[in-house]
């Protein structure tokens, strides 16, 4: 409307669009900061446990997802696709988490699936598995 009243000067429109873009960047920065803090909290909890140093970034990220979504089902194929790693590597990472009793395992037909237990966060906080 200001553009039409001011001899089709697009400056108002450009400023409006830039404000929207700047607001979107601020929201993105806030979101990324929140996600970083969530991961750091889980990482700090893991570092206090005896097996925290034995887990890699992907395993820690899987634990973070499991804490946020108790009962979530993980498969080697899903992990492989999500992290661009081979299915065998994904299977090994999940098997290690199950061996540490951080994830539960069951079979769906011939496929071995891994389940995030509902008490995972309390296990991490206590350091006892």
Predicted model pTM = 0.67
Number of domains in the chain: 1
Enclosing domain of residue 111? 2-126
What's the pLDDT at 4?
Answer: 64
Average pLDDT over residues 71-87: 94
Q: Residue 79 pLDDT more than 60?
A: yes
Domain CATH for 83: 1.10.10.10
Could you write out the three-class secondary structure of the chain? CHHHHCCCCCHHHHHHHHHHHHHHHHHHHHHHHHHHHHHHHHHHHHHCCCCHHHCCHHHHHHHHHHHHCCCCEECHHHHHHHHCCCHHHHHHHHHHHHHCCCCEEEEECCEEEEECCCCHHHHHHHCCC
pLDDT in tens, 8-52: 677 778 888 999 999 999 999 999 999 888 778 877 777 777 777
């Amino acid at each position: 409307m200001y553009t039409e009243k001011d001899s089709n000067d697009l400056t108002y429109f450009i400023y409006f669009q830039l404000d929207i873009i700047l607001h979107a960047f601020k929201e993105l920065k806030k979101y990324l900061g929140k996600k970083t803090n969530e991961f750091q909290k889980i990482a700090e909890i893991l570092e206090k446990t005896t097996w925290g140093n034995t887990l890699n970034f992907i395993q820690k990220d899987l634990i973070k997802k499991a804490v946020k979504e108790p009962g979530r089902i993980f498969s080697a194929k899903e992990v492989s696709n999500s992290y661009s790693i081979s299915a065998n590597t994904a299977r090994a990472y999940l098997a290690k988490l199950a061996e540490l009793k951080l994830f539960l395992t069951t079979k769906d037909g011939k496929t071995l699936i891994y389940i995030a237990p509902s008490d995972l966060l309390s296990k991490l906080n206590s350091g006892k598995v």
